[in-house]
Structure 1
């Protein structure tokens, strides 16, 4: 009888191990199936997010297996965070992760300062003067004033540095640059 009891308890332990392994396998399979999303659900999630972001131009939304990627360019960190928050709200539990690749601070268009001049008149001169003064820190022998968006530079500079000065002044996008008063040594 004790031999029979020993066999029974051994079989029960083996059965329990097998049942535990089967249970672990089934749970793993369920988690795997749950984590896999069909392209249709990704498409629905993308549509929800795009609808929530429709007032923000230039943002691209990509969704792959519940992972959302945001791309584009905007003008502020707060707007970038707002876009991410609206994405979370729109997607809810359908989102596994958000990769916010949005770049802050759009590059200034080539004609932006000129258009701003047209709108603001001479008020831009103070901003332009500040930018010119920052450039001139590297060129102590040069002085400049700004009139109606045009930089008027005077002073004496090594010939090899005149092009560098001009390029740096052009970079701040004035309406024009008058370098007639700059002489070379």
Structure 2
């Protein structure tokens, strides 16, 4: 009787531990399911360890990153304990957008540059800018410590030129 009781207690003590341990084979199956679900998303690496899924790679937008995570959840179901989404979002260069726009509306590049400049200036409320023939003309007042950041972000737009003569620093 005592032996049966001991076996019963041992079974209940070990059974949850055995159930929670995942074999590498079950992780491999889960990885295969997820990779199959993500077949349309080239360049995404999937790693699975004890039901914890890690996604690595690069995509062009936050919405695509979210779609990949949702596909992972759906494919793995209850076998997925957690998802670590390390996918980097690389937005297309503004120059690419300008070139495509230029092909469609020949010579109308300034509006695309203006759009990109306005996005940059959201972080610099004391600065204004105009775009004329691909050149960004900047005016306003800015702290010296932020001047380099402004200039680098405007250069990233890749205009024909940047005129910062109208900017004073404090």
CA separation of 1:83 and 1:150: change in aligned 2, threshold 3 A: same
How far residue 67 of structure 1 moved from its aligned partner, in angstroms, is: 2.3
Alignment partners' CA distance in 1, 2:40 and 2:83: 20
How big is each residue's C-alpha offset from its partner over 1:91-148, in whole Å with a ceiling of 9 and x where there is no partner?
234x1402232356x2446xx1122111113231331342354365335xxx531134
After superposing on structure 2, the runs of 4+ consecutive aligned residues of structure 1 that deviate more than 4 Å are none
TM-score (norm 2): 0.69
Structure of larger gyration radius: 1
Q: Could you tell me which residue of structure 1 aligns to residue 97 of structure 2? A: 116
Q: Could you tell me which residue of structure 2 aligns to residue 101 of structure 1? A: 85
Tell me, yes or no, if structure 1 residue 33 matches structure 2 residue 33. no
More helix by share: 1
Tell me, yes or no, if structure 1 residue 70 matches structure 2 residue 43. no
Alignment partners' CA distance in 2, 1:49 and 1:84: 10
- Structure 2 gaps of 5+ residues are 103-108
Residues 58 and 73 in structure 1, CA contact (< 8 A), matched pair in contact too:
yes
Q: Could you tell me which residue of structure 1 aligns to residue 153 of structure 2? A: 171
* Partner-residue secondary structure (3-state), 2:122: helix
- RMSD between aligned alpha carbons? 3.3
Tell me, yes or no, if structure 1 residue 128 matches structure 2 residue 92. no
CA separation of 1:19 and 1:183: change in aligned 2, threshold 3 A: closer
Residues 117 and 124 in structure 1, CA contact (< 8 A), matched pair in contact too:
yes
* Partner-residue secondary structure (3-state), 1:92: helix
TM-score (norm 1): 0.65
Alignment partners' CA distance in 2, 1:49 and 1:70: 10
- Structure 1 gaps of 5+ residues are 1-14
